[in-house]
């Protein structure tokens, strides 16, 4: 290849590289999951505020000082359905000593009515948050159901379990470990 052809080739490569850099940049309106907190172990859990199935709202950051289990689920998900009684049992056993469970229904993939029917059928007593537009599911990069985030008293994600169903012993051991830590 002659020097002039090589120089022309390199010029085009440089121009294309500059063009690609401009068109592939991250836009400023992309979700906080990409620009803020990272939803993985060892990082502060991204904050959210959602409406509750029975009225009111819940804000994750307002639960600092408590151990929090955020469980992403839908009513049509068989592993979600199977693990809910175990989550409810652990919640009832530990809620008085600082456990909060947020059953975060991906309502954009489900329905409020189906979530309510399932919660009533199983006898869930913990708060059911409604992710109507999948914004929190996107923020937490949920790719499979169920997905559970165990968050310590300082708001740090300590364990993530993708898939399921989790059994009661697994949930209980993770919750006990976090509850035993200093506040």
pLDDT of residue 6: 75
% of the chain residues with pLDDT over 70:
83
Enumerate residues 6+ apart whose C-beta is below 8 A from 17.
Answer: none
- 32-180: which CATH number, 3.40.30.10, 3.40.50.880, 3.90.45.10, 3.30.470.20? 3.40.30.10
The H-or-E segment that residue 148 falls in is strand 147-151
Model confidence, pTM: 0.79
The H-or-E segment that residue 113 falls in is helix 112-122
Residue-wise pLDDT tens digits, 99-153:
999 999 999 999 999 999 999 999 999 999 999 999 999 999 999 999 999 999 9
Each domain of the chain, given as residue ranges in start order, spans: 32-180
Q: Is 156 exposed, middle or buried (0-12, 13-18, 19+ CB in 10 A)?
A: middle
Residue-wise pLDDT tens digits, 72-103:
999 999 999 999 999 999 999 999 999 999 99
């Amino acid at each position: 290849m002659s020097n002039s052809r090589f120089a022309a080739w390199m010029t085009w490569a440089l121009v294309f590289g500059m063009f690609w850099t401009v068109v592939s940049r991250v836009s400023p309106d992309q979700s906080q999951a990409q620009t803020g907190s990272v939803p993985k172990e060892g990082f502060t859990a991204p904050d959210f505020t959602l409406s509750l199935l029975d009225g009111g709202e819940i804000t994750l950051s307002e639960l600092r000082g408590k151990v929090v289990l955020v469980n992403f689920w839908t009513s049509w998900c068989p592993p979600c359905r199977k693990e809910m009684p175990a989550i409810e049992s652990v919640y009832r056993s530990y809620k008085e000593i600082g456990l909060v469970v947020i059953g975060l229904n991906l309502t954009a993939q489900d329905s409020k009515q189906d979530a309510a029917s399932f919660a009533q059928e199983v006898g869930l007593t913990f708060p059911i948050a409604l992710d109507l537009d999948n914004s929190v599911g996107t923020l937490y990069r949920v790719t499979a159901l169920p997905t559970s985030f165990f968050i310590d008293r300082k708001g740090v994600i300590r364990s993530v379990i993708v898939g399921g169903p989790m059994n009661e012993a697994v949930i209980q051991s993770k919750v006990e470990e976090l509850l035993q830590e200093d506040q």
